[in-house]
């Protein structure tokens, strides 16, 4: 005998018998035109079979108008060894084990193995077009037991969900978002040569996945990005610029690969391109790895502010800007100096930043993830991006435009995308960013499938914690499936977060920002802050439902 239950997309279905579905029924919801709406069907076998697992099939039937927009995936449990460095009480577990994360395609021909007393789930996605008619649509999901012999009793369970589409279109995303893209990891996982046609094919697949989930920028490897790489070690070379030295300190540059990258990115829907950091991480002490005449010329052995690398940049940057301007890319480009510099790095970061700003001639913006206002006040970084826990300080200093990021080492009670966090705690990012007036969000790991410091490539289906060195879920949002990207729950939840932001902006356009902020206070009970926000499924659902009701009331 099997038990089934429709549940919110923010719930995480835990396999062991201690997990209980949330009380109450969840058989209806509302969405805007152009929105991606998701929910889940949880199921468990509550009686043992005769010395075997039960085999089931699942199928869905839906209103004809939406049948082309519905997909079904099974939620798979993944091994979590390392949850976080610091725990609070609002987590799924503090222990190693299996937690739901991977989404795998399935259809009515798929055989679903249901083990006794284990809860599992299907993930149902409805990608609503902008031109769909407003109204109510139904999706019925049926699980039927496979007849294996004459002793097998037939059994079938059906659950029906009603989705009301409101007569309003989700507006375009105005908040910018970047999840750093690692081209080397794609080449390694698919065992293809860098910049081969097979590599470009995979790059495009992951480009499209990023854009579909709300990313507006892509990290662009002019040279192999000097990110999360131990001193003295190297990542696989992924350099878009072909460089030849024709005389001492005299260089020729070929931008054809960069041109292909940017054309493909624009075709896939990116709005901006982030030039990968021109100096090493954590202080700009060294040059990145740069291949010249087919061999490594700059790298860990090269001081960032030494004459050799500075002369190279003086030759390179002007030619790069000519390329941008000749191809009308100049308004689509952002530069990075060094990732996460701290106050003690001003001595090395300062000269590097000043050189690049001088070479850019005030025509381009430099931005970095950093959380000390001195870099901004000293004019070394035009667009600083503070970690979320320092956001209040930057807002009070009236830094504009206001961006934020989070990563592997959060304070207690903050939002993040860790696998051991409840789904609502991840999705709450959207309302937090809206409440602060944040216009851009950065995270360092879309597809980082390496160990920490890139000592080796890892199997992300086995190690979802960077070889046990980053909290599970921090280093990537997608899995390298055989056919292309396979999503995680977290990738879907973050898309929902940015859709929430867009819905809030829609309501603001129909009322006012003050009215929206008051609605948030009324529903949540207080102001939203980095440390105080809806952490439960009920809390986040109530907030989004209230926003939708107000949008409907103001049509």
252-288 pLDDT, tens digit per residue, is: 999 999 999 999 999 999 999 999 999 999 999 999 9
Mean pLDDT of 320-346: 97
d(C-alpha 465, C-alpha 419), whole Å: 10
Kindly report which listed range (8-17, 144-153, 305-314) carries the lowest average pLDDT score: 144-153
Percent of the chain topping pLDDT 90: 89
pLDDT of residue 410: 74
Q: CB under 8 Å to 22, separation ≥6 — which residues? A: 7, 8, 11, 537, 538
Pair 297, 291: CB distance under 8 Å: yes
Reported as type and span, the H/E element at residue 539 is helix 537-553
**Band of the pLDDT at 240, cuts 50, 70, 90?**
very high
d(C-alpha 371, C-alpha 443), whole Å: 14
pLDDT of residue 150: 63
Reported as type and span, the H/E element at residue 547 is helix 537-553
Percent of the chain topping pLDDT 70: 97
- Tell me the per-residue pLDDT of 56-99, one tens digit each, with 9 for 90 and over: 899 999 999 999 999 999 999 999 999 988 889 999 999 999 99
**Band of the pLDDT at 147, cuts 50, 70, 90?**
confident
- Tell me the per-residue pLDDT of 15-55, one tens digit each, with 9 for 90 and over: 876 667 676 789 999 999 999 999 999 999 876 655 567 78
pLDDT of residue 85: 85
Q: Fill in the DSSP letter of residue 390.
A: G
pLDDT of residue 48: 60
Domain boundaries, the chain: 2-168, 175-385
**Residue with token string 């599992």:** 120
pLDDT of residue 279: 98
Reported as type and span, the H/E element at residue 27 is none
Q: What angle (nearest 5°) sits at the alpha carbon of residue 71, between those of residues 471 and 535?
A: 40
Q: What HEC string does 469-538 produce?
A: CCCCCCCECEEEECCEEEEEHHHHHHHHHHHHHHHHHHHHHHCCHHHHHHHHHHHHCCCCECCECCCCHH
Kindly report which listed range (14-28, 166-180, 269-283, 403-417) carries the lowest average pLDDT score: 14-28
Q: Which carries the bigger pLDDT value, residue 296 or residue 150?
A: 296
Pair 169, 32: CB distance under 8 Å: yes
**Band of the pLDDT at 152, cuts 50, 70, 90?**
low
- Tell me the per-residue pLDDT of 491-511, one tens digit each, with 9 for 90 and over: 999 999 999 999 999 999 999
Averaged pLDDT score across all residues of the chain: 95
Q: Which CATH superfamily is domain 2-168 in?
A: Immunoglobulins (2.60.40.10)
């Amino acid at each position: 005998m099997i038990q089934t239950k429709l549940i919110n997309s923010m719930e995480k279905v835990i396999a062991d018998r201690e997990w209980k579905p949330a009380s109450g029924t969840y058989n209806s919801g509302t969405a805007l035109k152009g929105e991606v709406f998701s929910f889940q069907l949880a199921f468990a076998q509550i009686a043992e079979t005769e010395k075997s697992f039960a085999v089931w099939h699942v199928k869905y039937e839906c209103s004809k108008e939406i049948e082309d927009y519905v997909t079904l995936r099974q939620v798979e449990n993944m091994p979590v060894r390392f949850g976080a460095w610091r725990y609070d009480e609002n987590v799924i577990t503090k222990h190693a084990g299996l937690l739901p994360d991977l989404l795998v395609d399935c259809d009515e021909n798929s055989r679903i193995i249901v083990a006794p007393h284990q809860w599992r789930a299907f993930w149902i996605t409805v990608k609503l077009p902008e031109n769909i008619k407003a109204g109510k649509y139904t999706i019925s999901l049926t699980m039927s037991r496979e007849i294996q012999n004459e002793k097998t009793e037939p059994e079938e369970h059906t659950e029906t969900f009603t989705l009301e589409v409101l007569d309003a279109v989700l507006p375009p995303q105005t908040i910018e978002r970047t999840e750093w893209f690692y081209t080397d990891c794609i080449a390694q996982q698919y065992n293809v040569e860098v910049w081969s046609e097979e590599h470009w094919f995979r790059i495009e697949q992951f480009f499209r996945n990023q854009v579909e989930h709300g990313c507006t920028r892509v990290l662009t490897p002019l040279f192999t990005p000097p990110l999360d790489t131990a001193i003295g070690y190297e990542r696989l070379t992924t350099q878009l610029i072909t460089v030849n030295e024709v005389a001492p300190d005299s260089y020729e540059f070929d931008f054809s690969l960069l041109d292909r990258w940017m054309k493909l990115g624009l075709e896939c829907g990116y709005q901006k391109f982030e030039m990968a950091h021109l100096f090493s991480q954590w202080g700009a002490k060294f040059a990145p790895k740069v291949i010249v005449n087919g061999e490594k010329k700059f790298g860990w052995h090269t001081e960032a502010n030494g004459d050799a690398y500075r002369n190279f940049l003086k030759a390179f940057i002007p030619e790069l800007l000519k390329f941008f301007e000749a191809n009308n890319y100049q308004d689509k480009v952002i530069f990075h100096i060094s990732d996460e510099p701290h106050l003690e790095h001003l001595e090395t970061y300062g000269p590097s930043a000043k050189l690049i700003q001088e070479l850019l001639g005030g025509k381009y913006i430099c931005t970095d993830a950093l959380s000390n206002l001195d870099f901004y006040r000293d004019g070394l970084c035009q667009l600083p991006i503070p970690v979320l826990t320092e956001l209040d300080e930057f807002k009070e200093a009236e830094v504009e435009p206001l961006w934020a990021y989070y990563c592997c080492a959060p304070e207690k009670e903050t939002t993040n995308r860790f696998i051991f966090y409840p789904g609502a705690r991840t999705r709450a990012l959207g309302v937090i960013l809206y409440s602060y007036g944040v216009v851009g969000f950065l995270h360092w790991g879309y597809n980082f499938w390496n160990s920490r410091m890139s000592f080796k490539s890892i199997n992300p289906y086995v190690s979802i914690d960077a070889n046990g060195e980053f909290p599970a879920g921090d280093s990537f949002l997608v899995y390298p499936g055989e056919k292309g990207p396979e999503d995680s729950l977290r990738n879907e939840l973050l898309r929902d977060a940015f859709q929430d932001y867009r819905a809030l902006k829609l309501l603001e356009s129909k009322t006012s920002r003050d009215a929206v902020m008051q609605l948030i206070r009324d529903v949540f009970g207080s102001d939203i802050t980095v440390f105080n926000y809806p952490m439960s499924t009920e809390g986040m659902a109530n907030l989004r439902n209230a926003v939708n009701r107000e949008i409907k009331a103001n049509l």
